[in-house]
Amino acid sequence: MAKPVKGAKKDKASKRDYKQAPKKEGKAISKKDSNREVIYGKNTVNEVLESKRKVFEVIVTDAVAQHDAGLMKLVEKQNISCKVLPKQKFEQMVKDKYDVKGNHQGVLAIVEPYAYMPLNDLIKKATQKEEPAFILILDGLEDPHNLGAILRTADASGVDGIIIRKDRSVGLTSTVAKLSTGAIEHVPVACVANLTVAINQLKEAGLWIAGTDASEAQDYRTLDASLPLGLVIGSEGKGMSRLVREACDFKVYLPMRGHVTSLNASVAAALLMYEIYNKRNPIK
């Protein structure tokens, strides 16, 4: 594929606060503990215990305390407060106090909230390495299942980081953490007020922006993976917004021979991430 030629026209970038995070889903622990967050699930808690994030307390069922020696050793090694409860009492607590609806596997932890990486730092991280940069841009994804799955694939395929929108999109919540099976601790995420402004910053740093769209697009298999790329994944219902679509340098589509008209956002993202991975890491 010939490299597309960037147009000279650029949106005027305005200064934004890229550190402000989107609203969290679910209820806070309490007003006093607004700087704390609940996470749950064995893999999720294990990843946090091995990360640099502060863990205030771990709560487990007596069965987990007896049979999961690896988890308990990590808690003991880091001298973290640990509460062991009978299963029935644990179930009641996670339901009434912490409003946990997912599969907690008998493990819950109180931790400091997930930190978003400033956009400038994410761009610097992605562009100061030997391999071309690869950043995902999520345009209004609202389903935590999609974000969790995308984080998991992004970590597996070596994506440098993800950019999400502050408004009308899902953020880094405990549900997303559980669904990412720990990948949330390893993939940097920047939260921005304006995606088109962020895209212009990526362009200025040398990235080419590829949007996913069914019209006026090229087959994703012709994508030139040697380019430093920013890949836009549109929202579940509406796809890319108009301004984001116009900011793309080119667009790609996934050919489909069946009867459905579109793929789930996380499935489409996974196919594209691994297409780029495969082209950059061919079998020798």
- What average pLDDT values come out for the chain (284 residues) when binned by 10 residues? 45 38 41 70 88 90 92 91 93 86 88 92 95 96 93 96 91 85 90 96 97 87 95 88 94 88 90 96 90
Region label for 21, one of left (φ > 0), alpha (ψ between -120 and 50) or beta (otherwise): beta
What pLDDT does 52 receive? 82
5 vs 198: CA distance, rounded Å: 20
3-state secondary structure of 232: strand
- Is 251:219 a contact under the CB 8 Å cutoff? no
Structure tokens at 214: 């069914």
Residue 173, amino acid: T
What pLDDT does 235 receive? 86
Q: H or E element: which one contains 64?
A: helix 62-67
What pLDDT does 34 receive? 59
Overall pTM surpassing 0.75 (yes/no): yes
What pLDDT does 239 receive? 87
